[in-house]
């Protein structure tokens, strides 16, 4: 092959890579809106409950003018406000963040941040949560992308279970193979053998429109796979019809950054003050 031909191929290759990166970014953005929509109704509901708490304790505090009652009311109102702030902070950081900046992240923290967004939805569908942390792994990741992956897996799991079931999420540090493992397991329908080969394909979905007219776009798992592979990780699935499904993600382990203290990070309300 001549030099000009080689140069042309190289240029074409670079163009395709750039186009690929751009498509992944668009896929992430479109898919993210879908999962925000999925959670919107249960989060709005939770805000309503929080406001009811705030209003009732404000009334109580005004009616009973003893120090004890006022302290109790203010504490309840403060706790409700902090919970609301935690949810909005989580939602905003999830919806806003873009780009591909990666840094060493504590995977426990990532999981906890996602759970704030889905807790209500799980309760609403009577799904119990079993959370296990084995070790305290860190991985070099784009936090928002990994949260999007987790959110997708959790929403899929929830949808596979319908009403009632149990969701197990675990984070495991595997020093021997230098990897961090995240697993999301449900007790749902399982995936039939004829469906299984297609689940990671873009626009493959078995879900028809629900009562809100929202069917599956079939982008969830395609996005998960793209994100995990771009992090040099692996995603795999094990499933049994009628028993449930487990998705397992492996990411390369990194050392905990030396500037990180071991105590819990502060609640958003305290940070803002
Ligand atoms: N936990 C699970 N249990 C059973 N089936 C699953 C599970 N996760 C995924 N699937 C199957 O894989 C298909 C593809 O999943 P994917 O997340 O890519 O798309 P979707 O959930 O249908 O749509 P979207 O995520 O865009 O709303 C689903 O339609 C479903 O058939
Ligand atoms: Mg999905």
Per-residue pLDDT tens over the stretch 213-268: 556 788 889 989 989 999 999 999 999 999 999 999 999 999 988 876 655 544 44
Strand partners, 103: 141
Q: Is the CB of 149 under 6 A from ligand 1?
A: no
Q: Which of 165, 207, 215, 235 has most ligand 1 atoms within 8 Å of its beta carbon, as the pocket-test mutant?
A: 207
Long-range contacts of 39-46 (CB under 8 A, 24+ apart): 39/117, 39/118, 39/121, 39/151, 39/155, 41/212, 42/120, 42/121, 42/124, 43/87, 43/91, 43/117, 43/120, 45/120, 45/124, 46/87, 46/120
- Asked if pLDDT for residue 38 goes beyond 80, the answer is no
Among 110, 230, 112, 208, smallest CA distance to 159 is for 208
Q: Which domains does the chain have, with CATH numbers?
A: 102-254 (3.30.565.10)
What integer pLDDT is reported at residue 156 of this predicted model?
94
- Asked if pLDDT for residue 212 goes beyond 60, the answer is no
Question: What is the arithmetic mean of pLDDT over 199-205?
Answer: 90
Distance of CA 207 from the midpoint of ligand 2 (Å): 9
Q: Is the CB of 188 under 6 A from ligand 1?
A: yes
Question: What is the arithmetic mean of pLDDT over 41-47?
Answer: 81
Q: Which of 156, 157, 202 has most ligand 1 atoms within 8 Å of its beta carbon, as the pocket-test mutant?
A: 156
What integer pLDDT is reported at residue 225 of this predicted model?
93
What integer pLDDT is reported at residue 97 of this predicted model?
64
Q: What does pTM read for this prediction?
A: 0.79
CA 273/CA 270 separation, integer angstroms: 5
Region of 180 on the Ramachandran plot (φ > 0 left; ψ -120 to 50 alpha; else beta):
beta
Q: Is the CB of 202 under 6 A from ligand 1?
A: no
What integer pLDDT is reported at residue 195 of this predicted model?
95
Distance of CA 11 from the midpoint of ligand 1 (Å): 37
pLDDT single digits (tens) 46-101 = 888 899 999 999 999 999 989 999 999 999 999 999 888 888 877 776 766 666 78
Q: Which atom from ligand 1 is nearest to the alpha carbon of 157?
A: 1
Q: Which atom from ligand 1 is nearest to the alpha carbon of 218?
A: 19
* Confidence category of residue 269, pLDDT binned at 50, 70, 90: very low
pLDDT single digits (tens) 123-181 = 999 999 999 999 999 999 998 889 989 999 999 999 999 889 999 999 999 999 999 99
Geometric angle at alpha carbon 182, from 176 and 183, rounded to 5°: 115
Question: What is the arithmetic mean of pLDDT over 33-48?
Answer: 79
Distance of CA 160 from the midpoint of ligand 1 (Å): 8
Residue nearest to atom 7 of ligand 1 (CA): 156
pLDDT single digits (tens) 129-144 = 999 999 999 999 998 8
Q: Is the CB of 165 under 6 A from ligand 1?
A: no
Q: Is the CB of 199 under 6 A from ligand 1?
A: yes
Q: Is the CB of 34 under 6 A from ligand 1?
A: yes
């Amino acid at each position: 092959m001549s030099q000009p031909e080689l140069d042309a191929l190289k240029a074409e290759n670079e163009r395709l890579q750039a186009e690929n990166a751009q498509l992944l970014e668009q896929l992430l953005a479109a898919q993210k809106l879908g999962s925000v929509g999925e959670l919107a109704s249960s989060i709005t509901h939770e805000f309503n409950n929080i406001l009811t708490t705030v209003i009732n304790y404000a009334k109580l505090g005004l009616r009973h003018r003893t120090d004890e009652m006022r302290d109790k009311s203010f504490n309840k109102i403060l706790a409700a406000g902090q919970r609301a702030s935690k949810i909005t902070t989580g939602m905003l950081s999830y919806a806003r963040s873009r780009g591909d900046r990666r840094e060493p992240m504590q995977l426990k923290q990532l999981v906890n941040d996602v759970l704030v967004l889905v807790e209500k939805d799980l309760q609403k569908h009577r799904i119990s949560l079993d959370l296990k942390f084995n070790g305290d792994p860190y991985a070099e990741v784009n936090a928002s992308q990994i949260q999007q992956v987790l959110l997708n897996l959790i929403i899929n799991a929830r949808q596979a279970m319908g009403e009632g079931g149990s969701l197990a999420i675990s984070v495991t540090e595997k020093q021997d193979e230098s990897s961090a493992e995240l697993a999301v397991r449900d007790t749902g329908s399982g995936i039939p053998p004829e469906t299984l080969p297609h689940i990671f394909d873009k626009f493959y979905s078995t879900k028809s429109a629900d009562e809100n007219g929202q069917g599956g776009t079939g982008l969830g798992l395609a996005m998960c796979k793209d994100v995990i592979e771009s992090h040099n990780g692996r995603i795999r699935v094990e499933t049994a019809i009628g028993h449930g499904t487990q998705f397992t993600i492996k990411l390369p382990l990194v050392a905990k950054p030396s500037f990180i203290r071991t105590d819990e990070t502060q609640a958003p309300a305290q940070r803002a003050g």
